Amino acid sequence: MIPAFKTRERVRQIVITGNPNSGKTTLFNALTGLRQKVGNYPGVTVERKEGHLSFDDGSEAILVDLPGTYSLTPNSPDEKVTTDILLGKLKDGSLPDLVICILDASNIERHLYLATQIIDSQIPVVLALNMIDTAEAAGVKIDTTRLERSLGVRVVPTIGTKGIGIAGLKHAIAEKHPGRLPSRSLNLPKVVEEELDELIGLLKQYRGIPPPAALHEAVDLLSSNNGHSTGHGPLSQEILDHVRKDRERLDFLEIDRPSVFVESRYAWIKRSCQDAITRPPEGGISFSDKLDRVLVHRVWGYVIFLTLMGVMFLSVFSWSAIPMEWIGGGF
Ligand SMILES: Nc1nc2c(ncn2[C@@H]2O[C@H](COP(=O)(O)OP(=O)(O)O)[C@@H](O)[C@H]2O)c(=O)[nH]1
Ligand SMILES: [Mg+2]
């Protein structure tokens, strides 16, 4: 990240991330105002947007609006910029001091996929539950206190477009965020858990990979058939042999390697959200559903239909006399 110094204390490096269209740029603008600088990341044509964040006590932080990504497995150069920064894969091995992860509250389970991956990576994180207005309009209620308890991180509700919750978000950013203890938000079969822990140990020991990247790289190696590294140089023969044996063992046990990690994460998310999210009954009743209920009702449907037909009949035969008189009077 950018080396920035202010008198004696190092200025905190904070990054904003989240799925595309979750409201990252809107919240970035609300937090930084007009104090922004736009450039490119070195070596790629991906826009880099940076701003200054000032706190009540006079201290400042640098805020970077990272490109959006759905997970920590990148599918484009933009997403690679984000995942490299979040996993400490930059050349100098630096990690952000804090990650602000923006979630679309009306799509919370899907957006928690990336958020829980970041929580697993053990970088201090604050979740901004944005678009609370859209969620409420859809009848979704989220108890942020309960969500905080189940996820173990700060959760702040916001409506970026209206500037609601910005003060609360700034407050949460300013708090002290102790590094988290390792508690993975995965709920894996025991045998997968064992293989994963063993491989993480090997990757840390032999390659000096930082913990966030080691967990992620181990998951990547076990779930795919890739023989290549995910960004920390080539793998040693010893690790490759170990990975091959792990894969054979899991395949023999008929564990679906590509989906076991994804499914267990979603299962974990579902469980943690259970008590915190209330949805409208019957999967949400929209306005048109409500209208349908009355208009196609067995009794009221006919009453409304006959009334409308009656009004049309009257309008043609009786009320038309009035405009006809006007027209007649005009000649
Ligand atoms: N209803 C609603 N719309 C929002 C909110 N925050 C952002 N938006 C809108 O969502 C869209 C995507 O926002 P943007 O900040 O560009 O998302 P980004 O892709 O994550 O940077 C824009 O049209 C915003 O105006 C919010 O809290 N509520
Ligand atoms: Mg944006």
| Residues 180-231 pLDDT 10s | 555 677 889 899 999 999 998 888 887 667 777 788 888 989 998 876 655 5
pLDDT in tens, 84-141: 899 888 777 788 999 999 999 999 999 999 999 998 887 899 999 999 999 999 999 9
Distance from the alpha carbon of residue 207 to the mean position of ligand 1, in angstroms: 40
| C-alpha to C-alpha distance for 160 and 155, rounded to whole angstroms | 15
User: Does the C-beta of 20 come closer than 6 Å to ligand 1?
Assistant: yes
Instruction: For ligand 1, say whether the CB of 134 is within 6 Å of any of its atoms.
Output: yes
Higher-confidence residue of 291 and 199: namely 199
Whole-angstrom Cα distance, residue 247 to residue 102? 35
SS3 331: coil
What pLDDT does residue 34 have?
Answer: 73
Ligand 1 binding pocket includes 140 (Cβ within 6 Å):
no
Task: Return the ligand number nearest the Cα of 169.
Answer: 1
Find the mean pLDDT for residues 77-88. 91
Would you state the structure tokens that stand for residue 106, as one six-digit string?
A: 């009306």
Q: How confident is the model at residue 254 (pLDDT cuts 50, 70, 90)?
A: very high
| pTM of the predicted model as reported, rounded to 2 decimal places | 0.81
Above pLDDT 90, what percent of the chain? 49
Q: Tell me the pLDDT tens digit for each residue of 44-70.
A: 888 899 999 988 888 899 999 999 999
* pLDDT score at 296: 82
Q: Rounded to an integer, what distance in angstroms lies between the CA atom of residue 265 and that of residue 117?
A: 9
| pLDDT score, position 109 | 93
Token duo for residue 194: 């064992």
CA quadruple 148, 154, 160, 164: dihedral positive or negative?
Answer: positive
Top pLDDT among 290 and 47 is at 47
Task: Give me ligand 2 centre to Cα 191, in Å.
Answer: 40
